[in-house]
Amino acid sequence: MGPASGKSIVALGLVELLSRRVSRVGFYRPVVQAIPDNDLELIRSCYRLPDERIGYAFTAAQRTDVGPANRAGMERIVERFKRIESASDFVVVEGTDFTGASSPIELEVNARIAEHLGLPIVAVVDGHRCSAAEIVERIVIGRDSFGEDAITAIIVNRVEPTALESLDGALARIDLQDPVWAIAEEPTLRQPSLDQLRRALGAELVAGDPDDLTRPVGAIKVAAMSVPNLLDHVLDDTVFITPGDRADVIVTAAMTRSSTAYPGVTGVLVSGGLRPDPRIVALIAEMSGGSTIPLLAVDSDTYDTAIAANAVEGAITAGDQRKIDIALGHIEAHVDLHALEHRIEIGRSDVMTPVMFQYELIERARAARAHIVLPEGADDRILRAADRIRRRQVCELTLLGNGDAVRERATELGLVLDDVPVIDPLDNEWLERFAQRYFELRGHKGITLKLAHDIMTDVSYFGTMMVHEGLVDAMVSGAMHTTAHTIRPSLEFVKTRPGTSIVSSVFLMLLSDRVLVYGDCAVNTDPDAEQLADIAISSADTAAMFGIEPRIAMLSYSTGASGTGADVDKVRTATERVHELRPDLKVEGPIQYDAAVDLDVARSKLPDSTVAGAATVFIFPDLNTGNNTYKAVQRSAGAVAVGPVLQGLNKPVNDLSRGATVTDIVNTIAITAIQVGADRA
């Protein structure tokens, strides 16, 4: 209902909701301002939508074609929609954005589009700078324009705190049949990012980390004063505009990034076609430990640059994960998504897509209310993941590392981690306690108290002891350390859970339409038959933990009784052992991979099997086979590999790949939180 009403955040929230429930979500904009369109690119990027499930009908220059009297234009809108609908299970349609058009005209056009497409309407009302009475008036106008029967729900966006307090009372005075949810104003979402500023001005990044370009721009200041006076005007997320030869301003801006006395400057726009002296850039990098503040250069003069920069409007853009997380967290906090789902009657699909599964991870992790320690606080990926976890309120976190260094780096990265505790193992009251405890546990292995003290300064040992002593629920590490370094402390004193003889691992393989479990692909080199059976049982339990019905395929190079040899016999013995220990589990082996996944092959090789052709848990005979297979499937089938997930320990400890992305780390933290919740149940 009008430009700048916040349709983007609502569209993002609806597509997120749909992606959790159906396998093929579509997104459609009947009219866009221009191509490329920000909202199309945002949704396409976030949810990896193929071309057949996303699109538009007209650009704003052609908008007369959708006027009330134009039948051909409406036919085109319907035809383009039907194309997307035919390839999708559910389609979100975002209304028009006719900047400059009168509201009645735009409401009429959108009402006609919704009518012709046969769609329920979620009306988005702009509450920015409106009183509660003005918001109610806008709601009534929208209801009358669309028709009350056509409206499914109403979302009022960008509501000022004062209006938010009195809105419920104002709404009670009108007769509304549909739910109304109000979303508070979130200034960060309206701020342009440094990258948006760069693209809008055609600026060149002459120095700085490209990852820093996602930082928000809260204020733009022309830096023409002397440095002492300039410091009085530094605000959070400020961008300075200054000629490229003002080395004093550039150095001062860079120094604020590591200062505790002043807010950190987001970046510097250097104007006039002047580039900063390379010696100044090198000096800043040396002062900042190798990194430097983003320096963006433009050819325009300071005045024109300031005018153009202040005209740049913020938007949630593809690739700006920070804003996407803020937006999704914000809509989850203010809109009852379960109620909205019921209102629009979204049916749950039997297919499990990666997006669905990852959402389930986050939701179940949030419900577990776990406390997880991340020992590698010096790693940027860990800090970025912690920021995302905090914004989505997934679980409670504690970081290990030098407190000043960790917080300084977080500030440099533009992350908000003020409420995340940082513990330094080298300077902490728990160190002596942990050393004594480790000495008690491992003294019989020749560990002296002095050696125990030295060992406990290691972040992996310190973090694991926090888990062992119940100070946190679980640990996630390995971004900077080997698997052996990460899990060795757990093997020493956390130990395996009763009934389990071996610690093993699985990868959750997120294919386009299902989730499979692969084990063991990371820990055990060549397990014997007994160990292989243990791995199979643990993997089946892990699968069930994540809502995957376990149907176990004990993999070999032969199927059924066709093969002989030591390797096949090992798998056959392991299969029999699983049958003995857990008769409730569906298990088949020895079985080849094709017979495990392909129904046609299964019918010919094992026609009576309940597992063949429908396996969900794949147990590899050795690490060589398992590790190579999961990587082959990951690369060739485009699967998302989540893990390794360690299993068999008394308390959850999980290992990260040293090549882990921020998303990988977030997923592993969520998995670990779910393991905590399962242990409590």
Cα radius of gyration (the chain): 29
Confidence of residue 340 (pLDDT cuts 50, 70, 90): confident
- Averaged pLDDT, 360-385: 91
| 412: its two tokens | 């440099």
Angle CA 600–603–604, to nearest 5 = 95
Residue 424 has pLDDT above 50, yes or no: yes
Reported confidence tier of residue 64, pLDDT bands at 50, 70, 90: low
Tell me which of 5 and 271 has the higher pLDDT: 271
Whether 621 shows a pLDDT value over 90: the answer reads yes
**pLDDT of the residue at 71:** 64
| pLDDT the model gives residue 351 | 65
For position 251, what pLDDT does the model report? 87
User: Three-state DSSP class for 637?
Assistant: coil
pLDDT confidence of residue 465: 93
| Residue 564 φ/ψ, nearest 5 degrees | -135, 165
Give residue 196's pLDDT band: very low, low, confident or very high (50, 70, 90). confident
pLDDT of the residue at 381: 93
Task: Report the share of the chain in percent with pLDDT over 70.
Answer: 94
pLDDT(532) > 90:
yes
Confidence of residue 363 (pLDDT cuts 50, 70, 90): confident
What pLDDT score was predicted for residue 463? 94
Q: In angstroms, rounded to a whole number, what is the distance separating the alpha carbons of residues 71 and 48?
A: 33
Quote the pLDDT of residue 192. 87
Average pLDDT over residues 100-129: 75
Residue 384 has pLDDT above 70, yes or no: yes
DSSP 561: T
Reported as a single tens digit per residue, the pLDDT across 550-586 is 999 999 988 877 777 888 999 999 999 999 999 999 9
d(CA 341, CA 255): 49
Confidence of residue 654 (pLDDT cuts 50, 70, 90): very high
Decide if pLDDT at 61 tops 50: yes
Q: What is the mean pLDDT of residues 234-254?
A: 86
DSSP 193: B
Question: What is the arithmetic mean of pLDDT over 289-294?
Answer: 76
Query: Could you give the percent of the chain with pLDDT greater than 90?
Result: 32
CB-based burial of residue 152 (10 Å sphere; 0-12 exposed, 13-18 middle, 19+ buried)?
Answer: middle
pLDDT bin (cut points 50, 70, 90) of residue 25 is very high
Residue 462 clears pLDDT 90, i.e. is over it: yes
Residue 374 binned pLDDT confidence (cut-offs 50, 70, 90)? very high
Res 357 pLDDT > 80 = no
Q: Is the pLDDT of residue 210 over 50?
A: yes
Q: How many residues belong to the chain?
A: 681
Q: Please classify residue 228 by burial: count the beta carbons closer than 10 Å to its beta carbon, then call 0-12 exposed, 13-18 middle and 19+ buried.
A: exposed
Per-residue pLDDT, 102: 44
Give the pLDDT of residue 402.
Answer: 92
Confidence of residue 528 (pLDDT cuts 50, 70, 90): very high
Kindly tell me if the per-residue pLDDT of 653 is higher than 70.
Answer: yes
| Residues in CB range of 112: below 8 A, 6 or more apart | 68, 74
Q: What is the pLDDT of residue 572?
A: 93
**Mean per-residue pLDDT, 501-519:** 89
Most confident of 294-298, 329-333, 657-661: 294-298
Q: Which helix (H) or strand (E) holds 46?
A: helix 38-47
In this structure, are residues 473 and 649 in contact, taking their beta carbons and an 8 Å threshold? no
When mean pLDDT is compared over 157-161, 182-186, 367-371, the highest value belongs to 367-371
Provide the pLDDT for residue 68.
45
pLDDT over threshold 60, residue 101: no
pLDDT in tens, 223-232: 888 888 888 8
pTM score over 0.85: no
Separation of first and last alpha carbons in the chain: 46
Please state the φ and ψ torsions of residue 401, each to the nearest 5 degrees. 145, 175
Q: Mean per-residue pLDDT for 236-256?
A: 86
Residue 4 has a pLDDT of 55
> Which long-range CB contacts under 8 A does 522-528 form with residues at least 24 apart?
522/483, 522/623, 522/626, 522/627, 522/643, 522/644, 522/655, 523/483, 523/487, 523/623, 523/644, 523/646, 524/623, 525/622, 525/623, 525/624, 526/622, 526/623, 527/502, 527/622, 528/570
Whether 28 contacts 56, CB under 8 Å:
yes
For residue 492, is pLDDT > 80? Answer: yes
- Which of helix, strand or coil describes residue 586? strand
pLDDT of residue 386: 94
What are the distances in angstroms from CA 264 to CA 407, 449, 526? 12, 44, 53
Name the least confident of 134-148, 265-279, 292-306: 134-148
Quick check: 51 pLDDT over 70?
Answer: yes
Characterize 483-504 residue by residue with b for buried, 16 or more Cβ atoms within 10 angstroms of its Cβ, and e for exposed.
Answer: bebbbebbebbbbbeeebebbb
| pLDDT at residue 376 greater than cutoff 60 | yes
pLDDT for the residue numbered 227: 82
Inform me whether the pLDDT recorded for 592 exceeds 80. yes
Instruction: Label residue 171 exposed, middle or buried (CB < 10 Å: 0-12, 13-18, 19+).
Output: middle
Of 49-58, 121-130, 144-153, the one with minimum mean pLDDT is: 144-153
Query: Which token pair is 156?
Result: 């009022």
Place 105 in a pLDDT band, splitting at 50, 70 and 90: low
- For residue 335, the model assigns a pLDDT of 87
The mean per-residue pLDDT over the stretch 611-636 comes to: 92
Q: Quote the pLDDT of residue 40.
A: 92
The whole-chain average pLDDT of the chain stands at: 85
